[in-house]
Amino acid sequence: MRLLIYLLVLTAIFSCGTRKTPIKAEQENVAEGERAELQSIQTSLEYLASDELEGRETGTIGIEKAAVFIENFFSKNKIKPYFKTYRDTFRVKDVVGYNIVGYIEGNDVNLKNEFVVLGAHYDHIGAAKKVDGDSIANGANDDASGTVAVMEWAKYFSESKSNKRSILFTLYAAEEMGLKGSEHLARRLKESDLDLYTMINFEMIGVPRTGDKIMAYLTGYNLTNMGEKLNSYAHEDILGFLPQAKSYNLFQRSDNYPFYQEFKIPAQAISTFDFTNFDYYHHVKDEAEQMDFEHMTSFINKMIPALEGMINASSKEIKMTNE
């Protein structure tokens, strides 16, 4: 089974367009035993996007089940809570929400005092217009896909112990209520004087772009040099610019934005959904069966050396372009 999964990952990598570095170079960056595996990704996403969770609306039993699932995943993989528990509790009027926050301390005596935040929202809208008797909006792409990616990177860094800076793995509730979960956490971390270097949010990475396009895009691309630096760390072009991003206000519409507002540091979102490759946004057919798990596995593994380069750089190389 392991060999089969590895072959599927290689197939996905070759299908994603022109590569600048050979497979061998990637394998040197990420040991085979530490790569994210397709079966783990699929298992987690299929649960988070299952009917049992009823669309993961904030304040419901369904999102509580999702929170417990993420907490158990973190605990099993020896990822510590950043606060007293994994939960960062907040309230939106009469609705109680929970961000889930995992923590891996950096291994460098100086750099461990600087933090990188990796995030995604694990909530969704609950229900949508009924189609063929189905009214559950499972939110597989939006954003169980990003949630699973963050979980897999937490597992990777817990196993590899390769991070010089400290990392917070943050899964937000109430994104669908107007970024309320990330607003709360960003404000709380700012009030605690956290030394935040960068923040990346992962939004809808479950479907590939067409073969003539770069694998993923970065919102607010020209605000920082993040895209350039991450591609450099990865030794290939993974991230590019989406022309429509500005007109759609994507930089302001995702959970990176509260961190930018609070900290005024590079805080951006990465996505592979470009409005042409997935028809089921906030739709009952945003189901696990619509996800491309080979693509997800490839993306998650390609991002590992990019994230390591950012997390382990000797200085804060990623900067706002006006600095």
Q: Does residue 211 surpass a pLDDT of 60? A: yes
pLDDT digits (tens, 9 = 90+) for 19-43: 333 333 333 445 555 689 999 999 9
Instruction: Please state, in angstroms and as integers, the Cα–Cα distance from residue 208 to each residue in 16, 141, 272, 277, 297, following that order.
Output: 8, 11, 6, 7, 11
* Domain-embedded: residue 154: yes
pLDDT digits (tens, 9 = 90+) for 46-68: 999 999 999 999 999 999 999 99
* Domain-embedded: residue 322: no
Question: Does residue 286 have a cis peptide bond before it, meaning omega lies within 30 degrees of 0?
Answer: no
Q: Does residue 151 surpass a pLDDT of 60? A: yes
CA gyration radius for the chain?
18
How many Å apart are CA 116 and CA 54, to the nearest integer? Answer: 32
Collect all residues with Cβ–Cβ distance below 8 Å to 118 and sequence separation of at least 6. 150, 153, 154, 167, 168, 169, 170, 199, 200, 202, 307
> In sequence order, what are the beta bridge partners of 224?
320
Instruction: Please state, in angstroms and as integers, the Cα–Cα distance from residue 134 to each residue in 95, 124, 280, following that order.
Output: 25, 16, 14
- What mean pLDDT comes out for the span 170-193? 98
pLDDT digits (tens, 9 = 90+) for 98-109: 999 999 999 999
* Domain-embedded: residue 161: yes
Contact, 238 vs 215, CB < 8 A?
yes
- In 46-109, where do the E strands start and end? 80-81, 87-92, 95-104
- What mean pLDDT comes out for the span 172-197? 98
The DSSP secondary structure of 259-296, one letter per residue, reads HHHHH-S-EEEEES--SSS-S-TTSTT--GGG--HHHH
- What mean pLDDT comes out for the span 12-16? 35
Instruction: Please state, in angstroms and as integers, the Cα–Cα distance from residue 33 to each residue in 84, 140, 215, 275, following that order.
Output: 31, 27, 24, 35
How many Å apart are CA 298 and CA 95, to the nearest integer? Answer: 37
* Domain-embedded: residue 320: no
Q: What is the pLDDT of residue 30?
A: 55
Q: What is the pLDDT of residue 10?
A: 37
Q: What is the pLDDT of residue 107?
A: 98
Q: What is the pLDDT of residue 323?
A: 53
| 250 CB-side CA count, 13 A | 26
pLDDT digits (tens, 9 = 90+) for 277-290: 999 999 999 999 99
Q: Supply the CATH number for residue 254's domain.
A: 3.40.630.10
Q: What is the pLDDT of residue 6?
A: 37
Q: What is the pLDDT of residue 51?
A: 98
How many Å apart are CA 287 and CA 279, to the nearest integer? Answer: 12
Q: What is the pLDDT of residue 138?
A: 98
Phi then psi for residue 127, to 5 deg, are -125, 155
Contact, 136 vs 286, CB < 8 A?
no
pLDDT digits (tens, 9 = 90+) for 220-278: 999 999 999 999 999 999 999 999 999 999 999 999 999 999 999 999 999 999 999 99
For the chain, give the percent of residues with pLDDT over 90: 88
Collect all residues with Cβ–Cβ distance below 8 Å to 7 and sequence separation of at least 6. none
Q: What is the pLDDT of residue 322?
A: 76
- What mean pLDDT comes out for the span 64-78? 98
Domain limits for position 52: 2-312
Q: Does residue 119 surpass a pLDDT of 60? A: yes
* Domain-embedded: residue 317: no
Q: What is the pLDDT of residue 1?
A: 42
How many Å apart are CA 267 and CA 139, to the nearest integer? Answer: 24
Instruction: Tell me which DSSP letter residue 224 carries.
Output: B
How many Å apart are CA 270 and CA 251, to the nearest integer? Answer: 10
Residue 121: which H helix or E strand, with range? strand 115-121
* Domain-embedded: residue 319: no
Q: What is the pLDDT of residue 228?
A: 98
Number of domains in the chain: 1
Q: What is the mean pLDDT of the chain?
A: 91
Q: What is the pLDDT of residue 164?
A: 98
* Domain-embedded: residue 323: no
